[in-house]
Amino acid sequence: MKWALLCSAAALALIASVVLGPAAVPFGELLHSDIVWNLRVPRALLAFLVGGSLGVAGAGLQALVRNPLADPFLLGLSGGAGLGAVLAIALHISGPWALPIAAFVGALAALALVYRLGLIGGAALDPRILLLGGVAVGAFAAAITTAIVSLADAAELRNAFLWLWGGLSSASWDAVLVVALYAPIPLAILLAASRPLDLLALGEEPAAYLGADVAAVKRRVYLAASLLTAAAVAVSGVIGFVGLVVPHLARLMWGHRHRVLLPAAFIGGGALLVFADTLARTVVAPRELPVGVVTALIGVPVFALLLRRWTIA
Amino acid sequence: MLRRLLVGLCVLAACHTPAPRHDGPPARRIVSLLPSFTEILFDIGAGDRVVGRTTWCDYPPAALAVPSVGDGIPPNIEAVAARKPDLVVLYNSGPNVTAARQLERIGIQTVLLDLNRLEDLGPATRTLGRLTGLEQRADSLAIALDSVASQHPAPPPSIQSLAFIVWDNPPIIIGRGSYLDELAALAGARNVFHDVAAPSSQVSLETIAARNPHWIAVLADSAETPAFAKRPEWRVVRAVREGHFLLLRGSLFGRPGPRSGQAVHELRTLLEGGGER
């Protein structure tokens, strides 16, 4: 029943996002319209893949660091992606894929740095160090980015920030294809780690007693979740709250077992982002809201309700 | 492209300027913090009194000889003060109001001028004329600029439509609130986003595709078509597919000023000549 509800919500969101839009496409022409086929459909699919990836990455990271506030972007990746994009503009690297690739590389660099910090002094990816390292690396990358933007002459640089919050405007079939080929690998790694992730909730020591290879699981989950997030930021910029709120909602409905939680977070995250993007495109048409604004407007009240429930319970 | 940002900034502030008080002698040492003001000051014959400019003030060429005080966004107070000006001319925007207050506190006279629309050019020019004691030349320039703003263009043979694209991801366009919308109308073109009241706004790509402008106008400093022209999602827009770009020089089109009439003329020529410049 819950699954039927979730899947129909996702299907409805996808259909709405293809049928609705600021441009009036007559119902009969939906199947032949260039606007539908080359703009709306790839954008809806990309939103679904990105939202789903963020949902799963968030669920995995929250289990890994055992902190309900963990968000895929908390680990310094958005700072790294922004720095990558700004560097690409400053160094005049051009080409249609220059910015996404640079952002991806920047996010990977931040990821590597945080990962390395997480191993310092035999810390073995201590959750606290990962979180602090993520915040520190993100802040450091953001500081360098701001310094470049204020000092360099290239006027385009100021728009790099726009790019980072650009949302799904650049969706194309190419982008959908790239994500559809890339995302299944980290997604599968996370799904395969479902059982050890369940054990990890008991604490690292009990999990080890119960047979989980804790160090290997932490490494795999951290890398897979970060790789998903890095791809998401490369194709759609920073989209907040999906990776934070969706895992909590999924946990409320499906409980703490990751084998069900992760797929639910994927479909839920996808549906939420598709729905939010449809609102972003249509409510103030012909103008458009940044999709991150809509996810926050939906996500924050839900989150507040959740907090209330927890504190009362 | 920062000029684009300047245009954007021009548009963000819509507050009204209080009538500038001026009781002292004509200004002798002026720092101009907007390319438009620099052009006006040079045009009315106060160029030799300009002792500071922004990095963007590149016209007339003589202005380049004036020391720069930075990009002016926001103004570097100490760099401005170091030029020992007796008048600082600022564009009326939030951060500039704060900067003006700081300058006044250290005894430097400032004036904040609106310059969002072509209609603002005449009043701004007259104010600068009064402050420099060059009322007569300012007045004749102001009359010329007022006539640019108030002229009713002869309808061209066929009205062409265009969309100004300020940024491609997310797509940001120019709306009715910007003076570029006025320039387009004067040149005999219709901005397809005239219904957007704001000076600029984010829109979805499909809106641009559906409104199907004849031309995509971009402020550019090179003669190359913009990079987004090659992106697959942009090819849904017919004008992009067909390579119908109007590449407008940022230093001329990016700012209202004494050369706005020339900008109108150039845009009209581009439209009639099929975009070749």
Look up the ipTM and state it: 0.79
**Cβ-defined contact of A155 to B2 (cutoff 8 Å):** yes
**Cβ-defined contact of B233 to A23 (cutoff 8 Å):** no
Best CA proximity match to A114, nearest among A143, A78, A87, A148: A78
What's the pLDDT at A240?
A: 84
CA–CA distance from A101 to each of A96, A97, A169, A215 (Å)?
10, 6, 16, 30
Rounded to an integer, what distance in angstroms lies between the CA atom of residue B31 and that of residue B41?
10
Rounded to an integer, what distance in angstroms lies between the CA atom of residue A78 and that of residue A42?
24
Residue B109 has pLDDT above 90, yes or no: yes
Q: Is the dihedral of CA B266, B255, B24, B62 positive or negative?
A: negative
Task: Round the average pLDDT of chain B to a whole number and report it.
Answer: 87
**Cβ-defined contact of B204 to A154 (cutoff 8 Å):** no
What's the pLDDT at B256?
A: 93
**Cβ-defined contact of B210 to A24 (cutoff 8 Å):** yes
Confidence band (pLDDT; 50, 70, 90) for B19?
A: very low
**Cβ-defined contact of A155 to B201 (cutoff 8 Å):** no
**Cβ-defined contact of A155 to B195 (cutoff 8 Å):** no
Largest distance between two CA atoms of chain A: 65
Q: Pick from A34, A35, A96: which is nearest to B231 by CB?
A: A96
**Cβ-defined contact of B1 to A159 (cutoff 8 Å):** yes
**Cβ-defined contact of A162 to B167 (cutoff 8 Å):** yes
What's the pLDDT at A100?
A: 86
- What's the distance, CA B47 to chain centroid? 19
Residue B9 has pLDDT above 50, yes or no: no
B242/A126: higher pLDDT: B242
Confidence band (pLDDT; 50, 70, 90) for B23?
A: low
Structure tokens at A114: 């945080």
What is the residue-level pLDDT of chain A in tens, covering all 313 positions? Answer: 889 999 999 999 999 999 998 888 888 888 888 889 999 999 999 999 999 999 999 999 999 888 888 888 888 888 898 899 888 888 888 777 888 899 899 999 998 999 888 888 776 778 888 888 899 999 999 899 888 887 776 666 666 677 777 689 889 999 999 999 999 999 999 999 999 999 988 888 888 888 888 889 998 998 999 999 999 988 888 888 899 889 988 988 888 899 999 999 999 999 999 999 999 999 988 899 889 889 988 887 877 887 777 676 5
What's the pLDDT at B38?
A: 96
**Cβ-defined contact of A23 to B207 (cutoff 8 Å):** yes
A29 touches chain B (CB under 8 A): no
Q: Pick from A23, A165, A169: which is nearest to B210 by CB?
A: A23
Q: Pick from A94, A158, A171: which is nearest to B2 by CB?
A: A158
Tell me which residues of chain B, numbers 160 to 179, contact chain A at a CB-CB cutoff of 8 Å.
Answer: 167, 169-172
Q: What share of chain B is helix, strand, coil (3-state, %, to 5)?
A: 45, 15, 40
A169 touches chain B (CB under 8 A): yes
Structure tokens at B232: 């697959």
A286 touches chain B (CB under 8 A): yes
B207 touches chain A (CB under 8 A): yes
What's the pLDDT at B14?
A: 37
**Cβ-defined contact of B235 to A38 (cutoff 8 Å):** yes
What residues of chain A lie within 8 A of the CB of B208, using their CB? none
**Cβ-defined contact of A172 to B231 (cutoff 8 Å):** yes
| Residues B171-194 as b or e (16 or more Cβ within 10 Å = b) | bbbbbebbbbbbbbbbbbbbbbbe
What's the pLDDT at A150?
A: 77
Tell me which residues of chain A, numbers 83 to 112, contact chain B at a CB-CB cutoff of 8 Å.
Answer: 94-96, 99
Residue B6 has pLDDT above 60, yes or no: no
Strand-pairing partners, residue B68, are B53
> How many Cα neighbours within 13 Å face the side chain of A184?
5
- What's the distance, CA B66 to chain centroid? 20
Rounded to an integer, what distance in angstroms lies between the CA atom of residue B71 and that of residue A244?
39
Cis peptide before A26 (omega within 30 of 0): no
| Residues A129-165 as b or e (16 or more Cβ within 10 Å = b) | bbbebbebbbebbbeebeebbeeeebbbbbbbbbbbb
Mean pLDDT over residues B125-137, rounded? 95
What residues of chain B lie within 8 A of the CB of A24, using their CB? 210
Q: Tell me the H-state helices in chain A.
A: 2-19, 34-35, 41-65, 77-90, 98-119, 127-151, 160-164, 173-182, 184-192, 194-200, 204-209, 214-236, 242-254, 258-282, 291-312
**What's the angle, vertex CA B174, arms to CA A291 and CA B31, rounded to 5?**
110
Best CA proximity match to A241, nearest among A295, A293, A301: A295
**What's the angle, vertex CA A149, arms to CA A141 and CA B199, rounded to 5?**
125
**Cβ-defined contact of A21 to B204 (cutoff 8 Å):** yes
The answer to whether residues B204 and B171 touch, using CB atoms and an 8 Å cutoff, is yes
B210 touches chain A (CB under 8 A): yes
B25-53 pLDDT tens trace? 899 999 999 999 999 999 999 999 999 99
Q: Which residues contact B128 (CB under 8 A, 6 or more apart)?
A: B37, B40, B41, B44, B46, B89, B111, B113, B138
User: Which residue in A has a C-alpha nearest to residue B229's C-alpha?
Assistant: A96
B233 touches chain A (CB under 8 A): yes
**Cβ-defined contact of A287 to B169 (cutoff 8 Å):** no
SS3 A276: helix
Which of B193, B205, B236, B238 is best to mutate for the A interface (most A CBs within 10 A)? B205
What residues of chain B lie within 8 A of the CB of A158, using their CB? 2, 5
Residue B275 has pLDDT above 80, yes or no: no
